[in-house]
Structure 1
Amino acid sequence: MVARCNRIVPLFALACACAVATVYFAHPLLVTMGQDLGIAPAVLGAVVTTTQIGYGLGLFLLVPLGDLVNRRRLVTAQFALLAAALLTVGTASTLTVLLTGMAAVGLLAVVTQSLVAFAASLAEPARRGRVLGTVTSGVVSGILVARTVSGVVSDLAGWRAVYLAAAGVCALLAVTLHLALPDTAPNPLRYGQLLRSTVRMFACEPVLRARSALAVLVFAAFSVLWSSVTLPLSAMSLSHTAIGAFGLAGLAGALAASPAGRLHDRGLGQWTTGTALGLLVLSWVPLALTQRSLWALAVGAVLLDLAVQAVHVTNQSMIYAVRQDAGSRVIGGYMVFHSIGSGTGAIAATAAYSVGGWPGVCALGAAISLLALVVWAVHARVHANRVSSTDTVSPAPAPPV
């Protein structure tokens, strides 16, 4: 089983990239969609919002199913249904049909996290961090490449071609994964018990709570940058192509994922987290100079993305180790906090920019990043004290014979 996992890790990464990309295809296509379907500009934001709502529901309702049913059948079914949802979007003729299809795309694109949990369950413990790093590299690459691919395909063949082509890719992946992945044993739990146990785990396990808190903060910092950076760049009269090119700096995050996983496998998870969070705080220094130098933006973006993805991979490796018997629930629950952080950061960044401009955004990002470093330091000290006290407890004397 382990050898088979090693051979199919690239397939996991590719499938994750394709699935998560479907959530982001719409971002550069909104205006074109609106013109084609006669949608008012004020309503276009609902397309993205509906997709994100669907994704959030899927994280809680669908991803935990990996601990209940055969994982191979689950991901195969999700990809097949995702293909149908993409087909619905690509052939939509009204706003209602479009929003229904986009909600379904978001709901089913959480197959990305089902695959992450599946890959972790197949990996041997000594290589789990490396496997998760490779798969996460696929996720990051899918997010970054999605906007570029959708823009190019739309220019060549129209926005509908983006979704129709994606539907074909997902259908092909459904067949491929069905043939390549191993079967897993179902769990006797009922669905209601499964969801309740997810909530209980995060309420009772200190590591899950601490790492979820870090997820909220680091992805809030990530979202503070990428949801607002277009504002100062647009003020510099840069083209949409030039602005979009800065997003490629996020590829640094994909490069950081695998090394972070290997460091975790060597027992350096806490060190990796602390170092990455230090880089996250430091990244806001060059980012604050964006309006003076675009090179400063590039350097700051690379540092920020390296830090965020390193923390993300280490988080996933650590929380999975806590409850290996509930990997899908753990990963799905953790990603809910990821989404909360991303959404909160975007809203806060907009408010900060309206009040204090770009310096206000950078001050907010630096404050969130510093808070994340403090949260990690407190948890690391508490954990170290707990381990130390456990090690120094004298064994109970043997009972008299």
Structure 2
Amino acid sequence: MSNNNVLTARVPASEAQTAPVTPMSNSLVWLMAISCGLVVANIYYNQPLLAEIGRTFGLSDSHVSLVATATQIGYTLGLLFVVPLGDKLERKRLILLELVLAAVVMGVAAWAPSFTILLVASVWIGIFSAVPQLLIPMAANLASSAERGKIVGKVMSGLLVGILLSRTISGYVGAHFGWRTVFGAGGLAMLLLVAVLALKLPKDQPVFEGTYGSLMKSLVTLTRKFVPLRRAALVGGFLFACFSVFWTTLVFFLEGSPYFYKSDVVGFFGLIGACGALAAPIAGKMADKRGADYAIGLGILASLAAFIILGVSGQYLVGLVLGIILLDVGVQGAHISNQSRIFALLPEARSRLNTVYMTAYFIGGSVGSVVGGAAWTAYRWHGVCAVGLFFVLMAFLANRFYGRSAEPGPVA
């Protein structure tokens, strides 16, 4: 089978995905945005709770940080093995099944009598919380080509708010009611979301009719074919690594000198980072009008400035707040622009394109969590900032030089 056949696998020409005749309603866009936020929160609830979880099981900071790493590894596995099915199976049905299973494993995490069970549950929480990466390509399919970047940005803004507010909510609830309550409430939220989406989410039937094996094989083919996809994967992975370095270790930094904050206060720093959500629609519009490269370059520059400020003046509240804002705006703005770029490459393969990109993205996040925890243990705050700065510089080099001399595939 040729590469092109692997990519499309018996897609009739009459069924090729095209831009919709009528625009998406605002209510549907915001429903998808809110859904993304609620589901992705499952992955980040644990970050402000790491110190409390460590005290429950008698673990060191570096050991308990494995909970965050396990969840991100699970999310990466979900991206790699589940999200591609969005190009083969009816997306609404797949999304509802994922949400039900997510509710089950969130309940297991709330009950977990040992750290080992919590780690295993964390992996499965990550796997079944890949729903946003099914909803975002779905939004791209339903949007017109002229508004695709803007609509993807709006849906992503919900995801970003979920990432950041999850820390605020879990920090507060964990401090007052215990970390187990956070996981239990998250599971109930998934069941509520199942009921709403079953009524309101439209069906979205993909056109790929090949086997699961050919679907997975096409991931390799897509990666080889499109230079912009490989570049986006590298840039996104490095930037999310720096993001994870910071947010995985922030709770340890804030609970010690000079701040001595508890988890409820630590969680409220997610509100500061919510500025990144404001950058999402702006970055989407910028990618529509000025091209993805321009927006990605600005995002990298903002992230670079963030770690310089955090390293120099993170011990002061003003410096810490400014660094958080710049980091979240930079990373999330570049992320939206990367997705706008890859979704334009091959419309009928958007779930698989997103799989390649987001798998690299969360591999970077998992590496960042591990390296960040080790940097904190060995060198404390300045080690964390140095590692974060290194990952940003790698993103700059990848974006500036990778594949620029000759691109065999189409350029987004």
Q: Which TM-score band applies after superposition, normalised by the shorter structure?
A: 0.7 to 0.9
Greater shift in the superposed pair: 218-227 or 132-141: 218-227
Q: TM-score, normalised by structure 2?
A: 0.84
Once the two structures are superposed, the pairs formed by residues 87-106 of structure 1 within 5 Å of their partners are 87-93=107-113, 98-106=118-126
Q: How does 1:133-144 map to 2 (within 5 A)?
A: 133-144=153-164
- How many Å separate the matches in 2 of 1:263 and 1:198? 28
Distance 1:387 1:89 in 2: 44
Rounded to whole Å, the distance in 1 between the matches of 2:77 and 2:394 is 28
State the partner residue of 1:68. Answer: 88
- Structure number with bigger Rg: 1
Go from structure 1 to structure 2 and tell me whether the alpha carbon gap of 1:348 and 1:82 turns closer, same or farther (over 3 Å shift): closer
Amino acid aligned to 2:323: G
Return 235-244 or 299-308, whichever deviates more: 235-244
Superposition deviation, residue 317 in structure 1: 0.7
**Which structure 1 segments of 5+ residues have no match?**
389-401
Query: What does residue 192 of structure 1 align with?
Result: 213
The Cα of 1:355 is off from its aligned counterpart by 5.7
1:220 to 241, 249, 268: 241
Comparing 61-70 with 352-361, greater Cα deviation is found at 352-361
SS at match of 1:257: helix
The AA in structure 2 aligned to 1:262 is: K
Q: Which residue of 1 aligns with 2:98?
A: 78
Percent identity reads 34
1:41 alignment partner AA: L
- Determine the C-alpha separation between the residues in 1 that align with 2:64 and 2:393: 35
Candidates 133, 154, 161, aligned match of 2:181: 161
1:209–1:158: structure 2 CA closer, same or farther, 3 Å change rule? same
CA contact (8 A) 1:5 1:123 kept: no
Contact 2:65 2:369 in 1 (8 A): no
Rounded Cα–Cα distance in structure 2 between residues aligned with 1:64 and 1:385: 24
2:319 and 2:335 mapped to 1: Cα distance? 24
Report the Cα distance in structure 2 between the residues aligned to 1:182 and 1:15, rounded to whole angstroms: 14
Offset at 1:49?
3.9
Match of 1:205 among 217, 226, 238: 226
What corresponds to 1:171 in structure 2? 191
Higher alpha-carbon deviation: 301-310 or 60-69 = 301-310
For 1:171 and 1:213, locate their aligned partners in 2 and report how far apart those are by CA, in whole Å: 35
Q: CA deviation at 1:358?
A: 3.7
What amino acid is aligned across from residue 269 of structure 1 in structure 2? A
Check if 1:250 corresponds to 2:268: no
Cα distance in 2 for residues equivalent to 1:151 and 1:32:
10
Q: Distance in 2 between matches of 1:24 and 1:304?
A: 17
Give aligned pairs, total: 386
Q: CA deviation at 1:291?
A: 4.9
- The match for 1:289 is 312
1:26 pairs, out of 32, 37, 46, with 46
Q: Classify 1:152/1:179 alpha carbon distance in 2 versus 1 (closer, same or farther; 3 Å).
A: same
**Equivalent residue number for residue 400 of structure 2:** 377
C-alpha distance in 2, partners of 1:228/1:154?
17
Alignment of 1:110-125 (within 5 A): 110-125=130-145
1:146 equivalent in structure 2: 166
- Taking the aligned partners of 1:347 and 1:33, their CA distance within structure 2 comes to 17
Listed as ranges, the gaps of 5+ residues in structure 2 are 1-19
Distance 1:98 1:183, change over 3 A: same
What's the counterpart of residue 367 of structure 1?
Answer: 390
- What do you get for the CA RMSD once the two structures are aligned? 2.9
Provide the rounded CA distance (Å) in 2 between the counterparts of 1:364 and 1:243.
Answer: 22
CA distance in 1, matches of 2:358, 2:223: 12
